[in-house]
Amino acid sequence: MKIFIDSADTEEIKKLVDLKVIDGITTNPTLASKTGKKYPTLVKEIFEIMPEDSIINLEVIDTNYEGILSQARLLSSLDDRVVVKIPCTPEGLKACKTLSSEGIRVNITLVFSSMQALLVAKAGAYFVSPFVGRLDDISEDGVGVVEDMVQIYDNYDFKTQILFASVRSVEHIRQACLIGVDVITSPYQFIMEMYNHPLTDKGLKQFLDDWKNSGEVFITK
Ligand code: E4P
């Protein structure tokens, strides 16, 4: 089970890399545009920050078959860690089939139904990214859609990995793990919240206070 950060903020990415908690990163054009950095500069910085064995998801912005192929091949040639994100459209899935047969790893993004996910698997994608939070935003059952995907992929032994995206809370991450997804991608704040429990803070304070009050000295060499 992998944890990715869903961000283009290099300070956030650095902090989680430093904590050795993330296996990869997802970005999208919206996240990239919010940084105010030139895209080539941002991508270069991400390549420098991310560990050697991580996964870096970068998205195409073209929407027709030939354009997607050309941008995907370019992104993939930049670094071995790149997985190319392509939107879930007929042209995108056609491009996915072609790129996958060339050995280029594809993440089909903007997926909102299990039937889209079936086509994604048949197109040979490496990842499928259901946007759970955006389904919840319109009062649909995002987690339920992912449960269907897991069942369908299990029924037919599809190899495409399910990447639970558009996370809105730690509770989403917990549900994703119970369903058995392969990857979750989360904003920085929810990964940090996963560490928290008031009893950890309370317990640590008590340990340190008791130690201090005992006057004990720690072992030395
Ligand atoms: C995933 O790859 C997407 O970047 C992301 O999860 C979208 O989430 P949002 O709905 O919070 O924009």
Mutate to test the pocket of ligand 1, among 120, 138, 169, 185 (most ligand atoms within 8 A of CB): 185
Instruction: Give residue-wise pLDDT tens across range 161-187.
Output: 999 999 999 999 999 999 999 999 999
So where are the chain's domains? 2-196
Given the CA of residue 133, which atom of ligand 1 is nearest to it? 10
Reduce the secondary structure of the chain to three states and give it as a string: CEEEEECCCHHHHHHHHHCCCCCEEECCHHHHHHCCCCHHHHHHHHHHHCCCCCEEEEECCCCCHHHHHHHHHHHHHHCCCEEEEEECCHHHHHHHHHHHHCCCCEEEEEECCHHHHHHHHHCCCCEEEEEHHHHHHCCCCHHHHHHHHHHHHHHHCCCCEEEEECCCCHHHHHHHHHHCCCEEEECHHHHHHHCCCHHHHHHHHHHHHHHHHHCCCCCCC
Q: Rounded to the nearest whole angstrom, what is the distance from the C-alpha of residue 165 to the centroid of ligand 1?
A: 6
| pLDDT for the residue numbered 14 | 98
- The tens digit of pLDDT for each residue in 31-67 reads 999 999 999 999 999 999 999 999 999 999 999 999 9
- Residue of the nearest CA to atom 5 in ligand 1? 166
pLDDT band at 199 (very low <50, low <70, confident <90, very high): very high
Which pLDDT score is estimated for 211? 98
In this structure, the residue with its CA closest to atom 10 of ligand 1 is: 166
Q: Residue 18 has what pLDDT?
A: 98
pLDDT value, residue 49: 98
Cα 164 to middle of ligand 1, angstroms: 9
Return the CATH class of domain 2-196.
Answer: alpha beta
pLDDT of residue 102: 98
- 85 catalytic residue (yes or no): yes
What is the distance in A from the centroid of ligand 1 to the CA of 131? 7
Confidence of residue 157 (pLDDT cuts 50, 70, 90): very high
Catalytic residue among 37, 85, 94, 212: 85
Q: Report the nearest-CA residue for atom 11 of ligand 1.
A: 166
Predicted structure pTM score: 0.96
